């Protein structure tokens, strides 16, 4: 099969997967609605009533979507003169029309010839093709996930679907971000090409969320009385992960990497070539002490990979790709993790480009159910790109200047230290920039039980180059700080708006909250007065504890990495000195 045919098949899968997903969901939703209203399509006897029922079914399906008019228009075009009242058949009729539109638009991606004149735009287009493949992958497994639908596992299925659809949407949005600072009009053309696919993915996410809410609401009276949103995890205050901390650490390495030649390989990339495709069990790569100057990518088909080093300051992977030298942000990453169920322990990830080079990513993570324990991520602007899907960080240290933790993953940082470094003279520092674009996305950055402190070089100028907790990179940016020691480097205002071309944005639609923090920078009395700055009570705070936020912690506990799953009132740092 030619490369063009393979690409075309993948583009078609986007349309089929998303629409079929909507079809199945619609069938369930309509089944509930029709049963509750006492009506049944089989009892409709004349054409007018059939058509009216079809219109009602389409409107019902599209009701929770953001792009409702587009949803209804596409579905009604598929209905035509048909008198079917089956929700599944109604949406199936729209397959060909919508799929043709999407396929035609994606075919046009190959004719953006004007970008050849601009290297950064050309790189952005190449990145877009990679991102669209990743987006297709998330839509494919959403499609498969719906086939596993059953009431006994409904909460897990809905959570998976929301995470994966959010990932698909984020990849498409990242494609557009890559064109932001290009001089050609290729970015506008790409936005036109991607609009239909992004709207379809968004609508699918809205439908899944509405269905999830429907099942939650029905639970008390119709589904055997069991709380479908109740954690299957234990709620005791014991940190169970500590008991099994050596579960992976004690495993014999599959391969060893050593710069001095004492291992199986001298480079990490050589070791990665030995990972079986679609691996199902931990493949442990022990990386001995040393500075590894290489760019590492754990690809999508490299699952269950484990990196174990000799410590974050001893085993380090370093690079210096950066935006100023003509590389798009996505491509600057020293290490990129795409394979699901990745585990990194005692590792260091670095981008040494420096503050003057602007965006320079040390680690980009887009692997579902990835875990990092006792690792260091060091850079300046955009150090750690928590791009998509579910990520857990424990006892890690992350350093940087501007937006040095950013992205749209479901990311929890527990007992981690965030070190603000000295920026350029005219720069301010921001710890986080979360990229939740739509309200239905389950993503957020959750910082629990850690430190936010100044690097020794930044400490003398911390009131000159002011530092802030967050700024809203995307419309519904969401970040929560809980039980964290915040030193005096953080300004009383706490947050900055995002400066877009049209002016400051995100103040009213973001979701920023602080709960039970300590330290001089935790005083909320002078915080900015935005609608998006919220106060959490204990019940609301628990929704962002790891077990609730992730809807289960089996994948974390399987690694043996410590994890405190709740938000108990006594969870505090007794030691409030700088952690050097």
Catalogue the active-site residues: 403
Packing angle, helices 186-222 and 154-177, rounded to 10 = 170
Packing angle, helices 68-79 and 95-107, rounded to 10 = 120
In whole angstroms, give the CA distance from residue 476 to residue 436.
5
Query: Which residues are CB-neighbours of 245 under 8 A, at least 6 positions away?
Result: 560, 561, 562
Query: Which residues are CB-neighbours of 433 under 8 A, at least 6 positions away?
Result: 403, 405, 406, 470, 471, 472, 473, 477, 498
- To the nearest 10°, the Cα dihedral for 420, 332, 10, 84? 30
In whole angstroms, give the CA distance from residue 499 to residue 254.
48
How would you class 402 by CB atoms within 10 Å of its CB: exposed for 0-12, middle for 13-18, buried for 19 or more?
buried
Helix (H), strand (E), coil (C) string for 478-524:
EEEEECCEECCCECCCCECCEEECCEEECCCCCEEEEECCECHHHCC
CB neighbourhood size of 242 (10 A): 12
Contact 186, 114 (CB under 8 A): yes
In whole angstroms, give the CA distance from residue 507 to residue 472.
7
- Measured between alpha carbons, how far is residue 215 from residues 25, 43, 564 in Å? 12, 26, 29
DSSP codes, 364-432: EE--TTEEEES-EEE-SBT-EEE-SSEEEEES-EEEESEEEEEESSEEEEES-EEEEPP--TT--EEEE
In whole angstroms, give the CA distance from residue 546 to residue 167.
19
């Amino acid at each position: 099969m030619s490369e063009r045919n393979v690409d075309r098949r993948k583009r078609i899968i986007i349309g089929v997967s998303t629409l079929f997903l909507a079809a199945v969901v619609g069938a369930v939703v309509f089944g509930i609605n029709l049963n509750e209203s006492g009506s049944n399509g089989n009892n409709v006897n004349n054409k007018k009533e059939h058509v009216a029922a079809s219109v009602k079914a389409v409107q019902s399906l599209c009701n929770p979507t953001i792009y409702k008019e587009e949803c209804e228009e596409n579905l009604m075009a598929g209905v035509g003169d048909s008198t079917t009242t089956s929700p599944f058949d109604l949406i199936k009729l729209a397959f060909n029309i919508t799929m043709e539109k999407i396929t035609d638009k994606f075919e046009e991606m190959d004719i953006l010839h004007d970008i050849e004149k601009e290297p950064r735009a050309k790189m952005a287009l190449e990145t877009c093709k990679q991102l669209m493949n990743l987006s297709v992958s998330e839509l494919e497994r959403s499609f498969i996930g719906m086939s596993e639908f059953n009431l006994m596992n409904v909460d897990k299925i809905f959570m998976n679907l929301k995470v994966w659809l959010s990932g698909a949407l984020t990849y498409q949005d990242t494609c557009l971000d890559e064109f932001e600072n290009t001089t050609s009009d290729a970015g506008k053309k790409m936005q036109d090409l991607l609009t239909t696919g992004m709207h379809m993915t968004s609508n699918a996410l809205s439908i899944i969320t509405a269905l999830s809410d429907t099942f939650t609401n029905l639970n008390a009276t119709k589904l055997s009385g069991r709380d479908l949103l109740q954690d299957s995890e234990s709620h005791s205050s014991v940190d169970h992960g500590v008991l099994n901390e050596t579960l992976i650490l004690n495993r014999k390495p599959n391969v060893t990497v050593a710069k001095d030649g004492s291992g199986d390989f001298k480079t990490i990339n050589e070791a990665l070539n030995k990972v079986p495709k679609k691996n199902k069990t931990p493949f442990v790569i022990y990386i001995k002490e040393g500075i590894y100057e290489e760019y590492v990518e754990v690809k999508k088909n490299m699952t269950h990979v484990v990196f174990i080093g000799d410590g974050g300051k001893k085993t380090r992977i370093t690079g210096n790709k950066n935006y100023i030298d003509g590389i798009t942000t996505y491509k600057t990453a020293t290490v990129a993790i795409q394979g699901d169920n990745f585990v990194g322990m005692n590792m260091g990830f670095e981008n040494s480009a420096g503050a003057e080079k602007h965006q320079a990513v040390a680690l980009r993570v887009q692997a579902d159910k990835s875990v990092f324990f006792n690792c260091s991520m060091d850079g300046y602007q955009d150090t750690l790109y928590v791009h998509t899907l579910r990520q857990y960080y424990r006892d890690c240290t992350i350093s940087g200047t501007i937006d040095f933790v950013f992205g749209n993953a479901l990311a929890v940082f527990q007992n981690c230290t965030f070190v603000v470094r000295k920026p350029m003279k005219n720069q301010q520092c921001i710890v986080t920039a979360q990229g939740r674009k739509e309200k239905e996305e389950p993503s957020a950055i959750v910082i629990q039980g850690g430190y936010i402190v100044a690097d020794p070089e930044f400490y003398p100028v911390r009131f000159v180059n002011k530092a802030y907790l967050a700024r809203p990179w995307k419309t519904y940016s969401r970040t929560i700080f809980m039980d964290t020691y915040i030193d005096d480097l953080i300004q009383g205002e706490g947050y900055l708006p995002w400066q877009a071309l049209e002016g400051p944005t995100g103040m009213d639609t973001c979701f920023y909250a602080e709960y039970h923090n300590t330290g001089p920078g935790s005083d909320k009395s002078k915080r900015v007065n935005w609608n998006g700055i919220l106060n959490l009570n204990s019940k609301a705070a628990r929704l962002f504890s790891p077990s609730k936020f992730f809807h289960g912690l089996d994948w974390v506990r399987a690694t043996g990495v410590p994890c405190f799953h709740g938000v108990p009132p006594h969870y505090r740092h007794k030691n409030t000195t700088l952690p050097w």
